[in-house]
Structure 1
Amino acid sequence: MQHDPGDLAATQKEQREQWQRTYAMHPGMYGERPSAPAVHAAEVFHARAAEDVLELGAGHGRDALHFARQGFAVRATDFSATGLRQLREAARAQGVAARVTTAVHDVRDPLPLPGASVDAVFAHMLLCMALSTDEIHALVGEVRRVLRPGGTFVYTVRHTQDAHFRAGTPRGDGIFEHGGFAVHFFDRALVDALAEGWRLDEVHAFEEGELPRRLWRVTQTRRP
């Protein structure tokens, strides 16, 4: 399906404002317990002797804080300053503030890190937000740039077997808006394309939430 880049840009602006409002109205909306993918990712990162983790789309920080409690140095980014403020407050309350840094960042822009500067990257449902396919490819290219050789990238995305796929308002390029939130639903071809030049370690199907949402957890490694 063809789509108007101008329409997508408007959707992206609306989504940013929507997340800001949502975090302001519902502080700590996802609770304090880490997501199952973050628990798994921490185990993988430990097994591979990672010391620092970059989380993209950290929100109010339930997963970033888990990584910090696990002993990693964590760099957390999100486009919501409100969510990151809640993250910092929680980090201080949990005694892990020294291991957490935050930065407001829109993933459509280059990552604010030098090349080969981080051991691991984690992103829970960030790649399947209101991003075009080209923007997703550019982001994964940036993740590869900032990872050290042999570094690990774990991400999750909703996919085309999800109940909300093709439900709600179509925004083009595989993106559908439902309940005020836009999602880019992945097919397997996109996962495979994003792994070109990487070692694709795992594509694990799982479910989350009451609907339930259907997702893939993808683990891939930057080749030396």
Structure 2
Amino acid sequence: MSDDGQDLAEVQRTHWQNTYTAHPGMYGEEPSAPARHAAAVFHAAGARDVLELGAGHGRDALYFAREGFTVQATDFSAAGLEQLSAAARRQAVDRLTTAVHDVRDPLPLPDASVDAVFAHMLLCMALSTEEIHALVGEIGRVLRPGGSFVYTVRHTGDAHYGTGTPHGDDVFEHGGFAVHFFPRDLVDALAEGWSLNEVHAFEEGDLPRQLWRVTQTRPGTPSV
């Protein structure tokens, strides 16, 4: 990116912290449509444990736990995860743990230790293309053979692409939120060495935002 990536990362961390603090439970309690899709994919694959990256205040992590998965939820916002933990206690949801983690760092998990990974709008945050590739490499490392990865990203067909404050590398900022808009060739590049099962276009929220929901599978035979 044209400006210092670490500085932008810290600005974004503070912005999300302040946003979650000012607007607790800002996305509501109902799971996202991509999470419902992911749960069906994970069940069909026989998954037992799910890692959610960028869980925020946890509407999707709570849903996965209610669906019977053992869930590890991470986010770089402690405020969001505190809200998730409080909601889990109120709803008597167990099978769920949280950890503050910045996805620019290696995932704090052993190799081949989870059955499925979910990331809604996480890969399209203020990450460079290099950082996104490194993250997907880490996801491949922690997934067991045959494990599923479902993620969503805003793409270059979105109305906000190319507008707002540019940070280079297809990252543009609106209202304090920096977004890396994905071209299709980046999706394909991230699937190299994987089985790319689906790239599904959908809309969400205001404008409306234009997104892809991507489902890909780590090669190998799932463990029984």
TM-score by length of 2: 0.97
- 1:10 is matched with which residue? 7
Match of 1:49, SS?
coil
Give the aligned partner of residue 105 of structure 2.
109
Partner of 2:67: 70
Q: Is 1:60 the equivalent of 2:57?
A: yes
Q: Is the 8 A contact 1:7 1:171 kept in 2?
A: no
The count of residues paired between Structure 1 and Structure 2 equals 220
User: Which residue pairs with 1:132 in the alignment?
Assistant: 128
Matched, 1:161 2:139: no
Which position in structure 2 is the counterpart of 1:45? 42
| Deviations 1:136-171, CA, capped at 9 Å, x for gaps | 000000000000000000000000000000110000
Once residues 137 and 11 of structure 2 are traced to their aligned partners in structure 1, the CA distance between those partners, rounded to angstroms, is 25
How far off is 1:8 after superposition?
2.4
CA RMSD of aligned residues (A): 0.7
* Residue aligned with 1:84, SS: helix
Which residue of structure 1 lines up, in the alignment, with residue 25 of structure 2? 28
SS of residue in 2 equivalent to 1:166 = coil
TM-superposed deviation, 1:10:
1.4
2 CA distance for matches of 1:175 and 1:56?
A: 20
Moved over 3 A (4+): none
Query: Is residue 32–residue 62 contact of structure 1 (8 Å, CA) maintained in 2?
Result: yes
CA distance in 2, matches of 1:91, 1:99: 10
TM-score normalized by structure 1?
A: 0.97
Distance (Å, rounded) in 2 between the aligned partners of 1:9 and 1:117: 29
Secondary structure of residue in 1 paired with 2:127: coil
Match of 1:100? 96
Matching residue's letter, 1:217: R
User: Is 1:145 the counterpart of 2:145 in the alignment?
Assistant: no
Shift of 1:129: 0.1
Write the distance in 2 (CA, Å) between the matches of 1:165 and 1:8: 19
Uncovered stretches (5+) of structure 1, i.e. residues with no partner: none
